[in-house]
Amino acid sequence: MITRILSKTESTDPSFAEALYTAGAVANTGQDTRTWFKRVVVEYPSSPWADKAQLRLAELSYGEGQMDDVVTRVTRLFTDHPSSPVIATAALWGARAAFEQRKLQLACDWLTRGIAAVGGDLELRNQLQFARQRCNVGNGVQLAPVVPESLRAGPPSRPAPDTTARPGAPPAPTKPMAGNVASPWRIQVAAISDKAVIRRLTQQIQAARLKTYIVPGPKGLTKVQAGPFASRAAAVAQLPRLKAIVGGSPFVTRAP
C-alpha cells in the first residue's frame, strides 16, 4: 500500500514525506528503515516528519552501538527543531550516548533540557530524572549515582556469644529481623518500562538492603517496589533514605 501511495503521489505533495516516514516504519530490514528515514531528513528537512525521522535514526544507531552518530543526530535535532515535541525523548537517547562517550557536560545539558520539555509524560520524566542523577557534581563529576555511606544499611548485627553459657547448652534463640516480618507495606519507587532502568533500580534497592518487588502495571508499565516494612509508619520513615538513593518520587503502598 505504501509503495502504491509513493508511486502515485507527487514528491512536492506535503503528504509525500509522511509516506516516506511510514515506509521506514514498516520496512523489513534495518537498512531499509535507515534508507527511508534518511530520505525524510535529507529531502524534507522542514516537514513535520523530519524531527521524528532524525530521532528514529538516532535510536537505530544507539541499538547498533554507533554512539558518535547518535550524538550527531541528536545535536542536529536540537539545532534544527528546537521546539519539536520529541525533544525530551531525543534528550534521553542523546544523553545515554554522551555518557557512553564520557561527554558528561553534554549529557547533563541535554537531560536538563529534556526535563524542561517533557510535559505530562510521567514515565519519560522519571527516566530523564533517573538519568540526571549521574550529573551530581561535588568536588568532581560523579559518573553514576553513589549511595552515601550514611544512607547505606549495614549488614545485620549478630549477637555476641554468651561466654557464660553452660558447656554443651544450645544457643539462645535470636530475635527475627524486622525485615523478615510478613507485611503488605512497601515503597514504590517507579512505574516504568525501560528494562535498563529497572535493573539499575533493583541494584540500588539491594544496596539499601531491601527486597525488590517487580509488579505488572497498567499500559505495559512495570512497578518497582521495595520492602517489606512491618508497618506503614516504618515505610514512611524510610521514604527520605530511599528517595536519596533512587531519586524520583517514591511513595508508600500496599502489596497487591
Domain ranges of the chain: 2-135, 177-254
Confidence (pLDDT) at 2? 80
Rounded Cα distance between 219 and 211, Å, is 25
Nearest CA among 73, 123, 125, 121 for reference residue 97: 73
In the sheet with 185-192, reading across from the earlier edge strand, the strands are 211-216, 222-229, 185-192, 251-254
For the record, the C-alpha cell of 40 comes out as: 525524510
CATH superfamily name and code, 2-135: Tetratricopeptide repeat domain (1.25.40.10)
Confidence (pLDDT) at 125? 92
Domain covering 177-254 in this structure, CATH number: 3.30.70.1070
Rounded Cα distance between 32 and 36, Å, is 6
Contact assessment for residue 19 and residue 25, using Cβ atoms and an 8 Å cutoff: no
Model confidence, pTM = 0.54
Residuewise pLDDT in 10s, the chain (256 residues): 888 887 888 878 878 889 899 998 888 888 888 999 999 999 999 999 999 999 999 998 888 889 999 999 999 999 999 999 999 999 999 999 998 888 999 999 999 999 999 999 898 999 999 888 888 644 343 333 333 333 334 444 444 444 444 444 444 443 333 444 457 899 998 888 888 888 888 988 988 889 999 999 887 888 999 999 989 889 998 888 888 788 777 888 888 8
Helices within 9-46 (DSSP H only) = 15-25, 30-43
